[in-house]
Amino acid sequence: MKPTVSIVLVVYNGQPYLEICLDSLRQTLPADAELLVVDNGSTDGSPALVRERMPEARLLVNRANRGFASACNQVAGIAQGEVLIFLNQDTCVEPGWLEALLEPLQNPTVGLTTPTILWMEKPERIQSCGQVVHYTGLVFARNFGALRSAITETFPTDVAAVSGAAFAVRRDVWEKLNGFCEAFFMYYEETDLSWRAQRAGYRCLHVPLSVVHHAGRLDRPSPVALYYSFRNRLLMIWRNWGRRTLSLLGPALYLADRIEWGLALARGKAGLAAKFRAGLWLRANRRDLLLWAGAQAGSDAVDAVILANREWRLSPHVLTGGWLGRPLIALCEALFYRFWKRALRTLRAETPDASGVPDY
């Protein structure tokens, strides 16, 4: 018997996209699916549009923008479904997306699933098939920019993290993990959730046959997006690596920070301001970061397994910088590999029970 489903849609000034999103849901959702929409203080009339286009949806209206993570937690708390599906407002879904996304969750070892996400403007191109997570917290969209026709597999594949634009999670897993960490506000909250799910022994899968289109521009982040990305990468690292692992990865984390400064510089004044603001926030909240570090039970043994599965390479599509950037990226990758190998060897030597921790 298929699980009941609750679709969670967070809206913030979503007028340009909502009609397309809601219409695609109307055409694909089964009669027993629950649709919950939370408006995060929109000023463009988005709540009225939801009432007009999808009157059967349960609509919550916040007076102010609580952030994506908080709004999702708010709605998930009243959802009735055995599976929660989170969608961005600027998505539209293809027929069969829901059934394909739900099927792997029948396996009790699978906690989260994510679809093939295509560019809405260029539907022949892939935006992501889940995420590739570097061990320093850098995140890259898997299969970014590839042709849709290049995806030939039909069976779900393990990924480091789901995409926040569209993913499903079993309710029991969501509740066990206490949902999103609201400190993220927006960005990286789904990567953090995926990481914690893997720490708890659950798998995250990309489902090729589930297809969603997304209008978001991952290659052109706004200054606000840059700020939260810079800030939340380190927030996630401190929340999920144990203290011993953080100490072993110190040189690699420093190198990743230098790379981020380079990315900020490439964005001009807005990028540098975003990186500087992120540093100020992290400094102001350093006590919380120190409390979070190593809070996970059995962290060293689990860290050894997760580190072995984390990426040490960099995404060339995102980080190449022409004739000068390519040799610099190659040098950084060589250093990242060296730091990764040394930390992994040390963790395995210090935690012999790591071999008994399930892989993902």
156-171: pLDDT as tens digits: 999 999 999 999 999 9
Regarding whether 37 and 173 lie in a shared domain, the answer is: yes
Nearest to 41 by CA among 63, 20, 68, 25: 63
**How many CB atoms sit inside 10 A of residue 314's CB?**
21
Q: What is the DSSP letter of 180?
A: -
Cα–Cα distance between 356 and 49 in angstroms, integer? Answer: 53
Do residue 183 and residue 325 come from a single domain?
Answer: no
Same domain for 280 and 245 = yes
Q: Are residues 140 and 270 in the same domain?
A: no
Which of 214, 247, 268 is where one domain is finished?
A: 214
Are 259 and 198 contained in the same domain? no
Question: How far, in Å, are 42, 200, 277, 315 from residue 291 at the CA level?
Answer: 35, 20, 22, 32
* Structural domain boundaries enclosing 267: 223-356
The C-alpha angle 95, 101, 102, rounded to 5 degrees, equals: 115
Are 229 and 175 members of one domain? no
Long-range contacts of 171-178 (CB under 8 A, 24+ apart): 171/79, 171/81, 171/82, 171/83, 171/84, 173/111, 173/112, 173/197, 173/200, 173/202, 174/76, 174/84, 176/200
CA dihedral 102, 107, 108, 110 (to 10 degrees): -60
The token pair that represents 62 in the structure block: 């916040």
Half-sphere exposure of 71 (CA within 13 A, CB side): 28
Residue 111: per-residue pLDDT: 97
How many domains are contained in the chain? 2
56 and 187 belong to one structural domain: yes
The residues, any chain, with a CB within 8 Å of residue 342's CB and separated by 6 or more, are 248
Considering 214, 232, 252, which residue would you say is the last residue of a domain?
214
Write phi, then psi, for 205 (nearest 5 degrees): -125, 140
DSSP at 147:
B
pLDDT for res 318: 52
Indicate if 209 and 94 belong to the same structural domain.
Answer: yes
Distance CA 2, CA 120 (A): 29
**Which pLDDT value is given to residue 356?**
43
Helix extents (H) in the chain: 15-28, 46-53, 68-76, 97-102, 171-176, 189-199, 223-240, 243-248, 250-266, 269-284, 286-292, 299-309, 316-319, 322-350
3-class SS of residue 93: strand
* 282/343 same-domain check: yes
Residues contacting 77, CB < 8 A, separation 6+: none
> Residue 271 and residue 264: Cα distance in Å, rounded?
4
- Predicted local distance difference test score (pLDDT) of residue 2: 56
Low-confidence ranges of the chain (pLDDT < 50): 297, 355-360
Q: Fill in the DSSP letter of residue 145.
A: T
Beta strands 34-40 and 83-88: pairing type? unpaired
Do 229 and 200 have their domain in common?
Answer: no
Query: What length does the chain have?
Result: 360
Same domain? For 304 and 245 the reply is yes
Kindly state the tokens that stand for 85: 């599906």
Do 117 and 68 have their domain in common?
yes
Of 166, 190, 214, which residue sits at a domain end?
Answer: 214
